[in-house]
Amino acid sequence: MAAIQTFSFRHQALLTSLLHNRAGLSVDQLAEELGISRNATNQHLSRLTNLGLIEHSLRSSSGGRPVNSHCLTPAGLELFPRHYALLSSLLINWIRSHLDQQSLTVCLQELGIQLAAEYARRVDSFNSLPLKISEVAVILDEMGYRAGTYTEDNGASGIVARNCVYHRVASECEQVCELDLSLIGTLLNARIEHQECMLRGGLCCRFGITPE
């Protein structure tokens, strides 16, 4: 997801106005806030709506006639700073202080299983392991792992990830990798070998796959 700073000054101003007015603003209200014409405002709204960042709906006005109101979508709200990594770090550190190492590992493995349940139908729609592996790589890529597949010298397929989406948390608690291993292993019904890991100095994370 892009950050608010990647947009033009005018788009940033429009998005920020809607952040400060969560109930929504009309075109006329936005034009007045931004100090631009109604036509220019509509052009900006159209662009940001097409990107899925703004949505509109009808709301009542003081004059009794409904007006088109524009507000941020969940994707639009995500443009603004969030501290998910900080929250995750706090949660992991709290769990570590209350669980022993084995219990923490089991907890992360169970989270991987729960996450896999959200994608199981997609993977199960394929009838061969290579196709399932490719689909899991697609899923991981959608999640931000920058993932793809590779083929070993013996012809076996594996998954490579070039971005650790839990990097800050994992750097404090290496057991977080158990979540990835559990997620991939559950989706593929396979034993996963963490052949290379960025936290251990690797250039990527490589997951070898052996069918159960």
* CATH number of residue 198's parent domain: 3.30.1380.20
Structural domain ending residue among the three candidates 18, 44, 77? 77
Distances (CA, A) of 200 to 166, 183, 195: 14, 20, 11
Q: Does residue 93 sit in the same domain as residue 191?
A: yes
The tokens for 119 are 């994608």
Separation between Cα atoms, residue 200 and residue 47, nearest integer Å: 43
Q: What pLDDT is attached to residue 64? A: 64
The tokens for 113 are 């299983």
Structural domain ending residue among the three candidates 56, 77, 98? 77
Q: Does residue 129 sit in the same domain as residue 181?
A: yes
Separation between Cα atoms, residue 76 and residue 94, nearest integer Å: 31
Q: What is the CATH number of the domain that holds 28?
A: 1.10.10.10
**Residue 48 in contact with residue 76, Cβ under 8 Å?**
yes
Q: Does residue 200 sit in the same domain as residue 95?
A: yes
**Residue with the two structure tokens 């809607």:** 18
Q: Does residue 53 sit in the same domain as residue 115?
A: no
Separation between Cα atoms, residue 102 and residue 166, nearest integer Å: 20
Q: What pLDDT is attached to residue 112? A: 96
Number of helices and strands in the chain (H, E): 10, 6
Q: Does residue 205 sit in the same domain as residue 116?
A: yes
Domains in the chain, number? 2
Centroid of chain to Cα 38: 35
Q: Does residue 73 sit in the same domain as residue 88?
A: no
Strand partners of residue 205: 161
Q: Does residue 50 sit in the same domain as residue 122?
A: no
Structural domain ending residue among the three candidates 54, 77, 100? 77
Q: Does residue 53 sit in the same domain as residue 108?
A: no
Q: Does residue 69 sit in the same domain as residue 163?
A: no
Rg of the chain in Å (alpha carbons):
23
Taking the CA atoms of 200, 202, 204 and 206 in sequence, report the sign of the dihedral they define.
Answer: negative
Report pLDDT digits (tens) over 58-86: 876 666 677 789 999 999 998 887 777 77
Q: Does residue 65 sit in the same domain as residue 92?
A: no
State percent of the chain over pLDDT 70: 97
Q: Does residue 25 sit in the same domain as residue 111?
A: no
Non-local (6+) Cβ contacts of 144 within 8 A are 163, 165
State percent of the chain over pLDDT 90: 65
Model confidence, pTM = 0.68
Helix (H, G, I), strand (E, B) or coil at 38: helix
Q: Does residue 114 sit in the same domain as residue 203?
A: yes
Angle, CA of 85, 88 and 90, to the nearest 5°? 110
Report pLDDT digits (tens) over 112-144: 999 999 999 999 999 999 999 999 999 999 999
Domain extent for 205: 84-211
Report pLDDT digits (tens) over 12-52: 999 999 999 988 999 999 999 999 999 999 999 999 999 99
Separation between Cα atoms, residue 65 and residue 78, nearest integer Å: 32
